[in-house]
Amino acid sequence: MTGPLEGIRVVDLTRARSGPTCVRQLADLGADVIQVSDPRAGDIAGSDSANLQRNKRSVALDLHHPDGLTAFLSLTDRADVFVENMRPSVKHRLGIGPDVLLERNPRLVYASISGFGQTGPYAERGGLDQVAQGMGGVMSVTGPPGTGPWRVGIAISDTASGTFLTQGVLAALFARERTGRGQWVHTSLLEAMVNFMDFQACRWLTDGEVPPQQGNDHPTFFPMGTYRCADGHVNIAGLKGLDAFVGALGLHDLLDDPRFATDEARKANRDAFNAACEERLAHMEVRDVVEQLNALDIPAGPVYAVDEVFADPQVQHLDTYERRVDAAGADVALLRYPVTLTDTPAAIRSGPPRSGGDTRAVLAELGYDDATVDALVASGAAADGTAAPGWLT
C-alpha cells in the first residue's frame, strides 16, 4: 500500500522546526520530498533532526551560484509543492519568490511560513517559537495565577504553523484538481499562535474578558484540573459527574457546604474545594484513583513524565514510534504520523538523508549527465555528499 500523496513531488527549502514540521507530514503521507541544502553546511546530527528530516532525499545546491540556481529552478519546474520558511524578503532576493516560480510552473503550490506574516510592520523580524508564544498570548494564560508569564513546554507555534501549512497545501492540491492552477499558501508563527488561543481569544473578542492564568484548573469549567495523590498527580474532570466524584472520595457532604453548593460558589472558592479533595487524594494512589473514577465514567488520567508516557500500555498498543537508521548509521526512534488511513497509510520509509547524498540521482532525473554534475560539484554550485563538511550538533 502507498501513501495518499504518492506521485506528489515536494521541494523542501526549510530550516529549524516550523517548515520541516510541514514537510515531514507531507513526506509521511507519501510525497517524494527533495530537500535542498547548502553545500557549505554540514548535516545536523541528533535524534531531533532525524525525526524532522526522515523520508527525504537530499540535494545540495548553492542558490547564490548561477548554475546552482538554474538547477534549483529546474527542480521546482517539475515539482507539485515548494515549501520555504525564510524571512519574506529573502526569497525575492534569491530570485525564487512566488511570482517567479508560479510563472514558470503555474501548477505549483508555493507554501511559506514566516515569523509574523508576509507583509506588515513586523514582516522582516526573525521569528522564534517563544517570541510567538509571548506575542500570541499563550504565555499570559499559562501557569499558576499571579506568577507571571510561563512558556508552554513544547514548540507549540512551530508545530501549529507547520501543521496549518500542511492543511493549506493539501487544500491547494485539492483545488488544483478543479482549476488546474497552483497558488501561494502562507501562514506564520504569530497567526498560528493567535488561532490556537481559540476560545480564550474569543472570550476577549466577543465578551471583552481578558482570560487570566488558571494554573492546572480548566479556564471555565470546575472542578476540572490536576490533583496531587500519594504517589503522583492525576487529571480529573470532576464536573462530568460531580456527585459521583465527591462520593468516590468519601466527601458526600462537601456539596452541602454553602461555599460549594452551586457552580458559581465552587468557582469562587475553588482553592478551598481543591484542598478538600486533595486532603483525601493524598492517601490514595494514582492508579487506584484513575481506575475508580473511570469506572464511574468520570474522565481521569495520570500525569506522566516522558519515560512514563512510552511505558503506558495504551501508548505501546498504538505503536507511536518506529526505529530507523539515521544519516550517521545510528539507530533512532522516530514518531509516526499520528493519523491512521486504512487504505493509503502514512509510513516512515527511511531515516534522514545525508546532505547532498541524492544530488547525482535527482539531477539525473532532471536530465543532467555525469559530466555536467561533475562540473557543478567542482564549481561549488552543488555537492554530492562525498565530501560533506561534517556534522553540526
State the CATH number of the domain containing residue 257.
3.30.1540.10
Final residue in a domain of this structure, among 307, 334, 363 = 307
User: Do 327 and 302 reside in the same domain of the chain?
Assistant: no
Active site residues: 158
User: Do 235 and 182 reside in the same domain of the chain?
Assistant: no
Determine, yes or no, domain membership for 212. Answer: no
User: Do 261 and 133 reside in the same domain of the chain?
Assistant: no
Non-local (6+) Cβ contacts of 116 within 8 A are: 122, 123, 125, 127, 188, 189, 190
User: Do 38 and 100 reside in the same domain of the chain?
Assistant: yes
Determine, yes or no, domain membership for 72. Answer: yes
Quote the domain boundaries for residue 159.
9-197+317-392
DSSP state letters, 287-354: HHHHHHHHHTT--EEE---HHHHTTSHHHHHTT-EEEEE-TTS-EEEEEPPS---SSS-------PPP
pLDDT for 33-48, tens place per residue? Answer: 999 999 987 666 688 9
User: Do 264 and 386 reside in the same domain of the chain?
Assistant: no
Determine, yes or no, domain membership for 214. Answer: no
pLDDT for 46-84, tens place per residue? Answer: 889 899 999 999 999 999 999 999 999 999 999 999 999
Let me know: does 300 contact 236? Beta carbons within 8 Å.
Answer: yes
Determine, yes or no, domain membership for 325. Answer: yes
Final residue in a domain of this structure, among 257, 278, 307 = 307
pTM given for the model: 0.94
- Report the pLDDT averaged over residues 162-180: 98
The answer to whether residue 124 scores a pLDDT higher than 70 is yes
CATH number of domain containing 49: 3.40.50.10540
Determine, yes or no, domain membership for 209. Answer: no
